[in-house]
Amino acid sequence: MLKVRILTVKDYTERTLKHLQAAGVLHVEEAQELSPLDREAIERDKNDVRKALGYLNNILDHLLTEQIVRLRDVAAPSSLADVIREAQAYHDRVSSLTEKYDLLVEEIATIEDSAKYLGTLAQEIDIPLKDLRYSGPYLFTDVLAIAEESYRTFTDKAQPYILEHVTVAVDTMTVIYFVARSEHRKTLNGLLREFGTNALFIPDDDMSIRDFVAQSSDIITRSRHQLAALQQEIQDTIVQDLDRIVFFREILEDENERLSVLVQACEAHYVTLIEGFVPESRADDITEGLKEMLRYAFVGTETPAVMDEPPTKLQNPGMIRPFEVIVNLFSLPKYGDWDPTPSVAYFFAFFFGLMLNDTIYAVGLLILAKFLLDKLVDDPASEGTRLFRHVLYISGSVALILGIISGTYLGDFINMYFGVDLKALALVKGVQARLADPISFIILSLLIGLIHLNIAHVLGMIKGFHDRHYGVIIGKIGLFMVQIFGIPYIFKAMLGIALIPMGDHVYAAFLYPLAAGLLLVVVGAFVQMGGLGAVFWIFDLTGILGDVMSYSRLAGVGLATFYLASSFNLLSDWVSTTIASVIPGGLGTAVAFIVGVTMLVIFHVFNLLLSSLAAFIHSLRLCFVEFLLKFYEGGGKEYNPFHQKLRREVIVGKKS
């Protein structure tokens, strides 16, 4: 990265920002201001853009179905003012319909409540509706619904002012029809407000209560038909101009981003200063272009100083780059730090393939990644989704290769149904034998873990040399010595197993470098943590044992995938055989075949999803907890250049 300073007169600020947005390579860090008068105009424009953007987002929020909008064929507007004007017009058109929709929803709810409460009241009295809410010079009547727990308190307070009343219970509410003197109306209304109760909606009609209740369902049905028609009209209105609405939203989002940077560039009265970072290979895109376009401009580039914090832009080969999304889940490396993506890529794909390790499951995963992944994410066209799909492609391909090498096809499906031994299917018999035997698979997993962990510790020691953390260097050297001399010694002394064919006197001599290694571990802990090292050094030794044992999950998940598949094969075979024996003849054979195939498909799809998820999660765990934490800190800032977004496809609306 290079640090870039762009200095120009204030009259050229907008042209400068448009050029930077078109170049799309400058990560903007700081910008100084123009005069207050210019800032006022810019902020006014920005408010107009944000307001119009809000209108369009509000319209798209009412879209009920997911729509793919292709923007390449949409005609561009003549000016930004036209975009804002049309956005306002679209909003007014949709807003008038949504207001009618909301009012109709409220009206239906009101009629439903009135019918519900008045239906119960009609069992006690059946008078014309207009008599329920009568208002005269001496008397008035009303109907209200009050919560059951508040009813007693309300009646105690209202009793002196009510001449007559009829009360019925409806669910947790109490409906009261009362007659009172007109002079007490104000007092009773105050009590209603005190208890948070409103009078029921009563249509001004001569029909009786029972007639109203009987007709209310028809009224509600008609209203619901109107509601559906109104909803369809809203959808049709949006879809009719959806391509322009989405295209205008894209324009306004770009303009809003440009104006946001322009607002930052409003400090100095006569000049504008914009600072940021650009990849060294793209610096000419900014410097040469601006110098050609602007008469009064200064563009300076320099290597970032120690106190600067440039953003991080990862650069990995095509096969490695998808695994940047895995590293980003942990943390982006700081600028200038070592990028762990290559090592994570190799091991993540290998761990995933070893745990899935089935030819058919691997093919199924590749198919799901191709055709189903888009349905599970919010933005299928995003760069993150594209990279994640390639992670699944690569990891699934490793699982496919290992499945072919070990001869695994839906567990022991071919062996069970066709009598072909798995050893005959395996391309490499030794691999098949080791992965099929639980003890051998566990031992292999632990050896892989020992190698993986020590690679992490080597990288940690290299980082210690780079940062001059001598405590880390001493501790890592001691840890290597403990492993190199301690593991053979322990196997020989405790288990009688000679890992290295040497005499007993040689193993006895291992005690001296082993003791030296332990001493270095203790000294390294003291250098790093001071007095706390007296306690924490022991965790360096127990930690590596626990970390290595954690890799047994490779065997656990891999064997679980195989045995679950085999169990499902056995269960499906048992059920289909039972059906064939119960139902004689060709019918039994046909039913048994259909049921067996159906069970196999359901069970193996379930096992594919479960095993793929388990393989992904445990691969993450091994790469993050057991590997990256040994040497990697992260904490970087993502390179996010100021650029113009030109998306070709946008998905809006709600997934059904």
| Per-residue model confidence as pLDDT tens digits over 7-36 | 676 666 677 777 776 666 777 765 544 445
Listed range (201-205, 215-219, 491-495) with the worst mean pLDDT: 491-495
Return the pLDDT at 60.
87
Specify the higher pLDDT residue, 136 or 264. Answer: 136
Give percent helix, percent strand, percent coil of the chain, each to the nearest 5.
70, 10, 20
- Is the CB of residue 128 less than 8 Å from the CB of residue 197? no
291 has a pLDDT exceeding 80: no
Return the pLDDT at 396.
94
pLDDT tens per residue, range 490-502: 776 666 666 677 7
595 has a pLDDT exceeding 80: yes
Return the pLDDT at 118.
84
Listed range (248-262, 486-500, 613-627) with the worst mean pLDDT: 486-500
Average pLDDT over residues 357-384: 88
281 has a pLDDT exceeding 70: yes
User: Longest Cα pair distance anywhere in the chain, in angstroms?
Assistant: 119
Domains of the chain (ranges; CATH) run: 2-88+233-302 (no CATH), 107-217 (3.30.70.2750), 321-419+440-630 (no CATH)
Return the pLDDT at 513.
81
Listed range (124-138, 153-167, 298-312) with the worst mean pLDDT: 298-312
Return the pLDDT at 602.
95
pLDDT tens per residue, range 518-560: 888 888 878 877 777 666 667 777 778 888 899 999 999 999 9
SS (H, E, C) 379-448: CCCCHHHHHHHHHHHHHHHHHHHHHHHHCCECCEHHHHHHCCCHHHHCCCHHHHHHHHCHHHHHHHHHHH
Return the pLDDT at 495.
62
Average pLDDT over residues 464-481: 84
Give the closest residue to 266 by CA, choosing from 80, 41, 22, 49.
Answer: 41
336: left (phi over 0), alpha (psi -120 to 50) or beta: left
Chain centre to alpha carbon of residue 626: 24
399 has a pLDDT exceeding 90: yes
- Mutual angle of helices 341-356 and 359-371, in 10-degree steps: 120
Rounded to 5 degrees, what angle do the CA atoms 112, 113, 118 make? 100
pLDDT tens per residue, range 401-445: 999 999 899 988 888 888 787 778 888 888 888 988 899 999 999
**For the residues of 573-602, what is the DSSP string, one character each?**
HHHHHHHHHHS-HHHHHHHHHHHHHHHHHH
Retrieve residue 76's tokens. 């561009």
Specify the higher pLDDT residue, 123 or 6. Answer: 123
Q: How far apart are CA 60 and CA 428, in angstroms?
A: 57
Return the pLDDT at 35.
47
High-pLDDT (> 70) share of the chain, %: 86
Give, in order, the Cα–Cα distances in Å from 256 to each of 10, 50, 479: 19, 7, 55
